[in-house]
C-alpha cells in the first residue's frame, strides 16, 4: 500500500454530518478496574554470524521493568492511574525471550531493513503458532557492533503501531542494563564520541522506551517551554536522549507527556481488549471557534464521534522546521455534550500545521490537519483554522456524494472569510471541483492564439500514477494540492511511480512548473522531465515539503513526459506533485 492509510501514526479524518452518535464523556480515573492487557512479546533476534549476548534475560528483564516503571509513573502523573504495559513471563516468572536466529550475517541487516528483520521474525513466530500481525512485538536485535572501542549501529532502530498492534526494533548490548543508568564510569559510546556507561544506557534505554511508544501508536511530540524548564524532555520528542540523566545529576531527564498519556489510556497494551476495538472511528466538528486569549490560541466548539470521543489531542507543528520532533502537544477533555476548549501556547511567528486528533473510547483515533500562520506580532490567523474545519466537512460531503452539502458548506466559508483569504480561494476551488469542465484538447491541438496552457486542464496522451487514480487539480481523499503550506489551484497528482505524457506537436517553446512533495506525504521522490525520449531534467531526491521550480526549453519537441520516481526506498507516502505545470509559446 502507498496511500495515506499507511502513514506511521495518522488516519485522515473522515468528517461526516449524519449518522454519528453524540460524544459521550468517558472519564478515566485511577480507581477504574481495567481488563488486564495482553503482554508484549519480546523477540531476541540474532544474526547468523554472532551469538546471543551473555546474561541477556536478567539484563533485559531489569531494563524492561525500568521502562514499565517509567510508563506507569507517567500515566499516574497524567491522572489515569498507575497503569503500564505487561511483559510475557513463564510459569516461574522469568521474562520470556523468543529467540530467533537470522538467516544472514550481521552486515546484511542495514538501518533501513526493519521489514527484512520483521519478515524473518514473523515467519519464525508463525511456526510457533504466533501471528505477528496481531501482537505487539519488541524485537531486541544483536545488531550493535563494537570496533576499537566504538559502537557502530548496524541494523534498524525504529517502531510503528496503531494503538492495538505494532513492532519496535531496538538493540541489545552487554552494557545495556537499567542498573547502570546512574554510572559515571567510562566505557560507553554514542553519537560518534565516547561517553559514560550511564549515558550509553540513557540513549539506548531511552531508545527502547521511545520506539515502544511508536509501537503503541504514539507520534512525536515536543515538550512546552515551561515543561522543558521543570520536567525535562518529552519521551516522544528528544527524551530518548535524556532518559535517566537526572540520576547522574546531568539534567532533568525525561517525562511522559500528557498528549502521549491521553492516547495510551485506551490503547490495547494499557487497557486490554476494549469493546469495539476493531471498529473504525469517525468524527465530526459541527461547531468550531478560534480566538486569542492571554497570548494563547483558544479553539472551542463541539466534536461528535462514533465510537464516542472523550479526548482531543493537538500537535502544533512549525512548518519551517523539517520533521515533527518540534510539534508541541496540547490536550483537552471532551464534555458529555461534546463541547471542548483547547488552549495552545508557545506561539512564535511563522507557519504551522495543527493536527487535531480525536481520541475515541475504543482506542481508535482520527486526525484533521489544519494549516495556519502566526504573524510577526504573535497573532494567529484564526480564520484559517475555522475555515479549514468547515472545508474538511465540505470535502467529506463531496466524498460521500452529497454535492449539495459540500456546496453549502464551501459557500459558508466564502461568506465568512475575507475575499482574498486563502480559505476563500480553497472554497471556490472546491466548488469548481464539484462540477469540473471536461479536459481541453491536447497541447498540440490548441490554436496559436493560445499563448500559454495549463497542463492540468488539457488532454493527456497517457497518464498513470503509483497509487489511487489519475487526478487533476486535487489529491486523494479530497486533499487540496499544497506544498510547504502553499495552496496551488492547478496541479497534477503524481504519486510515484507516475507518468504524464503530453502531445506538444512541436508547437511550444517553454515548460515551467513548481514541484514537490505534498504536505500529507512523507516519502521521498525524484522528479524527471523527458522530451522526445531524452532526459531534460532530473531533480535531487526530494524529502521535504518545499516547492521548487523548473523551467525548460521545449522548442521543437513533439512529446513531453512528466515523471515521478521513488527514491529507491519504496513508494510509501510518495505523494509527488507537479504544481502549476504550464506551456508557453
Grid cell for residue 522: 512523507
Contacts of 408 (CB under 8 A, 6+ apart): none
Cα–Cα distance for residue pair 216/161, rounded to 1 Å: 6
Q: Are strands 233-234 and 254-255 parallel, antiparallel or unpaired?
A: parallel
The domains found in the chain, sorted by start residue, are 36-268 (3.40.390), 277-434 (2.60.40.10), 443-584 (2.60.120.1060)
Residue-wise pLDDT tens for the chain (585 aa)?
Answer: 343 332 222 233 333 333 233 333 344 444 444 457 999 999 999 999 999 999 999 999 999 999 999 999 999 999 999 999 999 999 999 999 999 999 999 999 999 899 999 999 999 999 999 999 999 999 999 999 999 999 999 999 999 999 999 999 999 999 999 999 999 999 999 999 999 999 999 999 999 999 999 999 999 999 999 999 999 999 999 999 999 999 999 999 999 999 999 999 999 999 999 888 888 888 989 999 999 999 899 999 999 999 999 999 999 998 767 668 899 999 999 998 999 999 999 999 998 989 999 999 988 988 888 888 999 999 999 988 888 888 888 988 898 899 999 999 999 988 888 888 888 999 999 999 999 999 999 999 999 999 999 999 999 999 999 999 999 999 987 779 999 888 999 999 999 999 999 999 999 999 999 999 998 887 899 999 999 999 999 999 998 889 999 999 999 999 999 999 998 877 888 999 999 999 999
Q: Are strands 193-196 and 534-538 parallel, antiparallel or unpaired?
A: unpaired
3 state DSSP class of 194: strand
3 state DSSP class of 437: coil
Backbone angles phi, psi at 259, to 5 degrees: -75, -35
CA 384 to chain centre: 22
Q: Which of 335, 344, 358, 343 is nearest to 285 (CA)?
A: 358
Taking the whole predicted model, whether its pTM rises above 0.85 is answered as no
Cα–Cα distance for residue pair 272/288, rounded to 1 Å: 33
Grid cell for residue 334: 471532551
Contacts 24+ apart (CB under 8 A), 1-6: 1/467, 1/572, 2/466, 2/467, 2/495, 2/571, 2/572, 2/573, 2/574, 3/467, 3/468, 3/476, 3/495, 4/476, 4/477, 4/520, 4/573, 6/572, 6/573
Backbone angles phi, psi at 561, to 5 degrees: -125, 125
Angle of helix 422-434 relative to helix 382-399, nearest 10 degrees, comes to 10
Amino acid at each position: 500500500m502507498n496511500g495515506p492509510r499507511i502513514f506511521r501514526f495518522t488516519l485522515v479524518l473522515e468528517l461526516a454530518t449524519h449518522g454519528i452518535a453524540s460524544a459521550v464523556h468517558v472519564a478515566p480515573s485511577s480507581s477504574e478496574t481495567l481488563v488486564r492487557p495482553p503482554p508484549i512479546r519480546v523477540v531476541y533476534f540474532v544474526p547468523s554470524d554472532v551469538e546471543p549476548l551473555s546474561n541477556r534475560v536478567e539484563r533485559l528483564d531489569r531494563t524492561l521493568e525500568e521502562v514499565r516503571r517509567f510508563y506507569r509513573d507517567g500515566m499516574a502523573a497524567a491522572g489515569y492511574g498507575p497503569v503500564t504495559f505487561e511483559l510475557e513471563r513463564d510459569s516461574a516468572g522469568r521474562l520470556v525471550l523468543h529467540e530467533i536466529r537470522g538467516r544472514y550475517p550481521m552486515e546484511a541487516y542495514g538501518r533501513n531493513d526493519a521489514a527484512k528483520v520483521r519478515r524473518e521474525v514473523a515467519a519464525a513466530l508463525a511456526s510457533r503458532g504466533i501471528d505477528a500481525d496481531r501482537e505487539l512485538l519488541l524485537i531486541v536485535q544483536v545488531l550493535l557492533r563494537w570496533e576499537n572501542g566504538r559502537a557502530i549501529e548496524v541494523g534498524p532502530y525504529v517502531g510503528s503501531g496503531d494503538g492495538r498492534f505494532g513492532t519496535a526494533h531496538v538493540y541489545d548490548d552487554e552494557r545495556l542494563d537499567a542498573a547502570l543508568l546512574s554510572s559515571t564510569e567510562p566505557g560507553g559510546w554514542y553519537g560518534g564520541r565516547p561517553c559514560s556507561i550511564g549515558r550509553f544506557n540513557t540513549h539506548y534505554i531511552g531508545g527502547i522506551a521511545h520506539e515502544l511508544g511508536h509501537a503503541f501508536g504514539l507520534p512525536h511530540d515536543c515538550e512546552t517551554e515551561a515543561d522543558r524548564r521543570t520536567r525535562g524532555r518529552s519521551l516522544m520528542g528528544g527524551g530518548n536522549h535524556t532518559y535517566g540523566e537526572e540520576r547522574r545529576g546531568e539534567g532533568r531527564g525525561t517525562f511522559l507527556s500528557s498528549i502521549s498519556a491521553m492516547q495510551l489510556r485506551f490503547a490495547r497494551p494499557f487497557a486490554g481488549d476494549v469493546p469495539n476495538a476493531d471498529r473504525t472511528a469517525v468524527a465530526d466538528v459541527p461547531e468550531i471557534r478560534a480566538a486569542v486569549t492571554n497570548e494563547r490560541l483558544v479553539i472551542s466548539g463541539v466534536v461528535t464521534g462514533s465510537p464516542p470521543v472523550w479526548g482531543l489531542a493537538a500537535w502544533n507543528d512549525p512548518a519551517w522546521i523539517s520533521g515533527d520532533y518540534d510539534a508541541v502537544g496540547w490536550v483537552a477533555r471532551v464534555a458529555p455534550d461534546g463541547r471542548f476548549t483547547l488552549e495552545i501556547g508557545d506561539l512564535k511567528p511563522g507557519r504551522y500545521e495543527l493536527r487535531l486528533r480525536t481520541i475515541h473510547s475504543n482506542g481508535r483515533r482520527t486526525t484533521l490537519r489544519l494549516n495556519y500562520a502566526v504573524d510577526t506580532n504573535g497573532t494567529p490567523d484564526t480564520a484559517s483554522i475555522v475555515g479549514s474545519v468547515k472545508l474538511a466537512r465540505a470535502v467529506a460531503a463531496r466524498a460521500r456524494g452529497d454535492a449539495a452539502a459540500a456546496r453549502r458548506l464551501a459557500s459558508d466559508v466564502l461568506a465568512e472569510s475575507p475575499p482574498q483569504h486563502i480559505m476563500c480561494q480553497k472554497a471556490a476551488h472546491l466548488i469548481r471541483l464539484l462540477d469540473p469542465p471536461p479536459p481541453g484538447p491536447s497541447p498540440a491541438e490548441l490554436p496559436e492564439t493560445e499563448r500559454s496552457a495549463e497542463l492540468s486542464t488539457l488532454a493527456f496522451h497517457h497518464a498513470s500514477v503509483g497509487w489511487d487514480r489519475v487526478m487533476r487539480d486535487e489529491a486523494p481523499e479530497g486533499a487540496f494540492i499544497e506544498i510547504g503550506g502553499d495552496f496551488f489551484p492547478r496541479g497534477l497528482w503524481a504519486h510515484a511511480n507516475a507518468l504524464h505524457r503530453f502531445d506538444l506537436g512541436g508547437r511550444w517553446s517553454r515548460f515551467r512548473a513548481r514541484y514537490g512533495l505534498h504536505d500529507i506525504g512523507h516519502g521521498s521522490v525524484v522528479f524527471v522531465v523527458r522530451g522526445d525520449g531524452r532526459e531534460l531534467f532530473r531533480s535531487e531526491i526530494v524529502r521535504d515539503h518545499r516547492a521548487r521550480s523548473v523551467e525548460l526549453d521545449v522548442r521543437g519537441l513533439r512529446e513531453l513526459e512528466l515523471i515521478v520516481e521513488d527514491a529507491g526506498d519504496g513508494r510509501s507516502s510518495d505523494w509527488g506533485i507537479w504544481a502549476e505545470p504550464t506551456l508557453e509559446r
